[in-house]
Structure 1
Amino acid sequence: MPHIIVLLQSTHHWASRTYLEYESIDDCMDALCRIFEGFMRLKNLYVDNKNYLLELFNFLDTLEDISCVVMQGDSNMYTPHNKLWIKEQLFLRLDRLDCDGMGY
């Protein structure tokens, strides 16, 4: 499984920079969903399942910056990925969960 580092900056202030580490893309995407859900709870906002993906993407767009670097097993090098890639991975992950009857 690839090692993944998420680089996140929530506001324009440099002190809001942080990083998160995961052992798989699925774990990473699940964690980003949990971060989003925690943010929504803090703001006392409710997201129904119909609008979950749209609201999740809107949340990502409010972040100052977010990107991932993913370890490539064959070369032992990290490949950088931008917000669009993260959104694509979230879409794929949530689609697989929905197909498995576990949807968000």
Structure 2
Amino acid sequence: MMCEEKRIFEPQLLSFVDPEELHESWIGFEHEGGGRLWECSQLMSVAALVEANRHTIVLMQSSPNRATRTFMDYGSISQAMDGICGLYERKLKEINPTIQNITYDISDLYNFIDGLADLSALIFDHSIQAYLPYDRLWIKHRMFQHLKRLASQ
């Protein structure tokens, strides 16, 4: 029974590691019959817990008018990504009220995000007890990872 590790991060640095990167770094396990797979799964579960507990504030300005500035409050990054998708879906329904089933792809969602005057996120980092800022490009990258994860479930 062998679990060949292709670790990038040490477990003690878990609180400083982006859970998405940790998950991706552990996917490359080659195992025969299980071996240390339980340890790998345990670390991915810890990463999922860290991810789920990251309070996220999305800051948005829909037009150049400063009066359109708003924020949305979420309990996790995943919920924030769902919230941004929900904003886009509501806009699509407003534009196409007679269409029952509206479909879109990631490029449509990216165009929506790019069409906003401003979009950023503040994500709570427990290790430093502070919010860290993330820009539009980071949000688009995270959105892709989030939707990819949902599609694989």
Q: Deviations over 1:41-72 (max 9, x none)?
A: 11117753xx4211000000110000001010
1:2 is the counterpart of 2:54: yes
CA distance in 2, matches of 1:55, 1:99: 20
1:67 is the counterpart of 2:120: yes
Please report the RMSD computed on the Cα atoms of aligned residues, expressed in angstroms.
Answer: 1.3
Letter of the structure 2 residue corresponding to residue 62 of structure 1: G
CA spacing shift, 1:55–1:47, aligned 2, 3 Å: farther
What residue is the counterpart of 1:13 in the other structure? 65
Relative to the length of structure 2, the TM-score reads 0.61
Aligned-pair identity (%): 35
> Where in structure 2 are there 5+ consecutive unaligned residues?
1-52
SS in 2 for 1:12: coil
Relative to the length of structure 1, the TM-score reads 0.89
1:36 to 65, 69, 88: 88
- The 8 Å contact of residues 47 and 55 in structure 1, kept in 2 or not, is answered as no
The 4+ residue runs of structure 1 with deviation greater than 3 A are: none
CA distance in 2, matches of 1:10, 1:39: 12
Rg comparison, structure with higher value: 2
* Number of equivalent positions: 98
1:86 is the counterpart of 2:132: no
What residue is the counterpart of 2:148 in the other structure? 95
SS in 1 for 2:90: helix
